[in-house]
Structure 1
Amino acid sequence: MITLSYGLLGVAAGPLVVLTAFSIARHEPVHWSLTGWPPSTASLAASMFLGSSLTYVALVVPRSAEMLAWLLIVGTVLALVDSACHLLPHRVVGLLFLGGLALIGAQALVRREFEPLLRAGVSSIAVFAAGFLLYQRFTAELGFGDVTLATALALYLGWFGWASVFLGLTVGLLAASFVMRMLLIAKRVGRHDPVALGPALLGGAVYVMLQA
């Protein structure tokens, strides 16, 4: 029953996710005309993706399903926006972080396990500090939105352990590097063209959390 509930949540969230992403990317007020009716292909694809993903999460990691569901829903908004216009809005990343902090805090209280909560907080602070230094050094290659997203993801990964923090971010960066190489080979982008890092970071983090 819980698995079905998560699946239905994902299906229902699909059109809202696409609507929000389109609104941000186009700098237009939220309105259903952005996606059209009947639902656009993008909305149907988002519903299928989130429905199946949340169902899988509920089956594989039921004890952490709430935080991963939040990560997938808000993360999909960020991935769509970043892919469309190379932007990771701070208000959406902040929503991802604060929602994760609330859910992780609730998990810690229910389980009476406060060490993972502390580790999650320290992880996010450490990643932000390291990311900010890299941003100062490689401003042309690394956006500040990428730093804040990595910080939010470190919070989630930190709940699962230090190894998950390292692996989650590393897998994301390797995936981004691979995609960049493929696009260069296909001559879809130039060597100095911007490439969205957000989707790869999100995908790497979710993959590692599902294996933890």
Structure 2
Amino acid sequence: MTSLGYAGSTMPLFVAAIGVLGLILSPVAELLIARLLPRIGGLPSTRLRITTSVITGALCAAFAWRFGADAGLPAFVLLAVLGVQLARIDVSLHLLPNPLVLSLLIGGVGFLLAAVFGGSQWGDVLRAVAGAAILFVTYLILAIISPRGMGMGDVKFAAPIGLYLGYLGWSQLLYGGLLGFILNGIVTVLVLRKTRSDRASEVPHGPSMLAAVIGVAFLFS
């Protein structure tokens, strides 16, 4: 990854601008989801919409601070916008809609390919694509071995998660994949203990997988 290098005096303004962009894109994404995917159930409550907007804005600002004007930043803004929406839907409906997962994957690949013209290396993009394939296959094998422990939505979501982890680096892919499994395990134990259920596949794993990418992006800079 190659940073385009913003001057220190302009960085706070840049970070704030990207944060505001996230605040705006979040409700736009919710409107599009409600219109194009009516089976999701329409718009969430006003309180939840404000919450997701704030979280998205904060994530966008954090990514802007982390990456600066790196050519790959638009891809991570997309991750913040769609990732938060996917996490919201997964928590409320235990569902990771295929159109949103596919949009995140294709959009991420598109932005990362475009980043090559902004200074990123082809090796970063190829590693990202390899990361998507590796994490997808890993989750698929685990789902085949233990179908009660993981849903196919999680398997599909592993592809865009692996894409971003792979773009960050091989070590990030390894640690991010492991962190995702650890967080999934912790959340599964807590949820099953609270609900007294025995179906781990009903536990929303999407938020943990997204959290793993965010954690690795900032812990392994």
What TM-score range do you get, normalising by the shorter chain?
0.7 to 0.9
Equivalent residue for 2:198?
A: 191
User: Corresponding residue for 2:67?
Assistant: 61
**1:131 shift after superposition:** 2.3
In the alignment, which residue of structure 2 is the partner of 1:104?
112
Q: How far apart in 1 are the matches of 2:218 and 2:40? A: 35
Asked if 1 retains the 8 angstrom alpha-carbon contact of 2:64 and 2:73, the reply is yes
User: 1:41 and 1:15 mapped to 2: Cα distance?
Assistant: 12
Aligned to 1:182: 190
Contact 2:55–2:84 (Cα < 8 Å) also in 1 = no
* 8 Å CA contact retained: 1:121, 1:155: yes
1:114 aligns with: 122
- Equivalent pairs counted in the alignment come to 205
Mapping 1:136-155, distance limit 5 Å: 136-155=144-163
DSSP-derived class of the 2:195 partner: coil
Q: Secondary structure at the match of 1:27?
A: helix
Please give the per-residue CA displacement for 1:63-94, whole angstroms capped at 9, x wherever unaligned: 24222111010011111111111111111101
* 1:174 positional shift: 0.9
CA distance in 1, matches of 2:92, 2:33: 9
AA aligned to 2:102 is G
Q: Which stretch shifts more, 87-96 or 10-19?
A: 10-19
Q: Say whether 1:5 aligns with 2:21.
A: no
2 CA distance for matches of 1:44 and 1:189? 31
1:157 maps onto 2:165 in alignment? yes
Q: What is the Cα deviation at residue 156 of structure 1?
A: 1.0
Give ranges in structure 1 of 5+ residues lacking alignment.
none
* 1:121–1:158 contact (8 Å) kept in structure 2: yes
* Cα shift at 1:2: 2.3
Query: Would the aligned equivalents of 1:10 and 1:51 in 2 still touch at CA under 8 Å?
Result: yes
* One-letter identity of the residue aligned with 1:47: S
Using the alignment, how far apart are the partners of 1:73 and 1:41 within structure 2? 17
Q: Secondary structure of the equivalent of 2:101?
A: helix
Shift of residue 101 of structure 1?
0.3
Q: Which residue of 2 aligns with 1:15?
A: 27
Q: Aligned partners of 1:114 and 1:199: how far apart in 2?
A: 30
Query: 1:7-61: CA deviations, max 9, x gaps?
Result: 111111232344456668861686xxx357xxx1111112221222211211122
Verify the 8 A CA contact 2:148 2:199 in the aligned structure 1.
no
Mapped partners of 2:182, 2:36: distance in 1: 28
CA deviation after TM superposition for structure 1 residue 112, in Å: 5.3
Q: Considering only aligned residues, what root-mean-square deviation do their CA atoms show, in Å? A: 2.3
- Deviation at residue 125 of structure 1 after TM alignment: 1.7
Question: What one-letter code is carried by the residue in structure 1 that aligns with 2:48?
Answer: A
Q: Using the alignment, how far apart are the partners of 2:97 and 2:159 within structure 1?
A: 14
Question: Partner letter of residue 117 of structure 1?
Answer: V
One-letter code aligned to 1:43: R
Partner secondary structure for residue 118 of structure 2: helix
Q: Which moved more, 1:49-58 or 1:153-162?
A: 49-58
Contact 2:60-2:77 at 8 Å conserved across structures:
yes
Give yes or no for the alignment of 1:209 onto 2:221. Answer: no
